[in-house]
A = this chain, B = another copy of it.
């Protein structure tokens, strides 16, 4: 069995138990993507679930956005592997009463998200169920795949774009308010960082992952997979403009609010200290920390020079 070590959390305890149970019946668990060698090409595959009432509420999003968001989340794992998408398969579960137009609208959004990065909808499955749920499998080609396990001491840590926007939308909705349009867009129509992932790989990224559960928790997976410690200065983490006001409502420092926020689908990458970072234009790429020799999986989050302890999203905590 090949199994990439994971960080802390009840969800990841379950994945560890599954990997133990499967033994030789599994291969490559614990990564952003499964990698399958086909001739001289490597195919990257990943599957991701998006469930009404868990990942989104129907009142928050249009049907097109529900489709877009689920597909973008899956494509984001391809981005983290530096893969170029071929397309997606969408297994769509819906209550029996939904009219055919709901299916078509969700799939239109799914198709737009795939097309936005050069992919297509390759297939799917329809089934009835209690609520709307999408299980999206993304498939692509990774000539030089990047995984989570290659970060080495001395590497610098970088993050694309800005963090906390999707969480700012979520907390606004949860307190009964309408999110700022920019924050809402981060939640409703996240952009898979396909081009950035490939540029980071070309710049020599030693490890990469996407931030779906939030920097605070996800960084632990990269640290565990690479058997290193990470030191992250939260003061350096680029924050979405909506974070400041939402963090005040949450009575939290903006830096902590941003580091806990998941579903921004930005990339976290390790680059050799001497590697010039790629030019990502308006998206931006920010150095936020470094890789160190230390307890495997340990992440030291610092703010104003002092260590802070944060949690992140866990489905089964």
Contacts and interface: CB of A to CB of B under 8 A. Distances in A.
A126 B34 contact: no
Contacts of A129: 49, 51, 54, 133
A309 interface: no
A302 interface: no
The bracket for how many chain A residues form the interface is 35 or more
B47 A124 contact: yes
A250 interface: no
Nearest to A38: B38
Nearest to A11: B126
A137 interface: yes
Total copies of this chain within the assembly = 2
A30 to B, nearest CB: 9
Interface string A82-125: 00001101110100100011011101100110110000111111
A68 to B, nearest CB: 12
A311 interface: no
Given A40-B39, A47-B135, A120 B25 contact: yes
Interface string A126-164: 111111010101010100000000000000000000000
Interface of A: 11, 13-15, 17-18, 20-22, 24-29, 31, 33-34, 36, 38-41, 43, 45-49, 51, 53-55, 86-87, 89-91, 93, 96, 100-101, 103-105, 107-108, 111-112, 114-115, 120-131, 133, 135, 137, 139, 141, 315-316
8 contacts: A25-B112, A38-B38, A38-B43, A43-B43, A45-B122, A48-B91, A126-B315, A127-B315
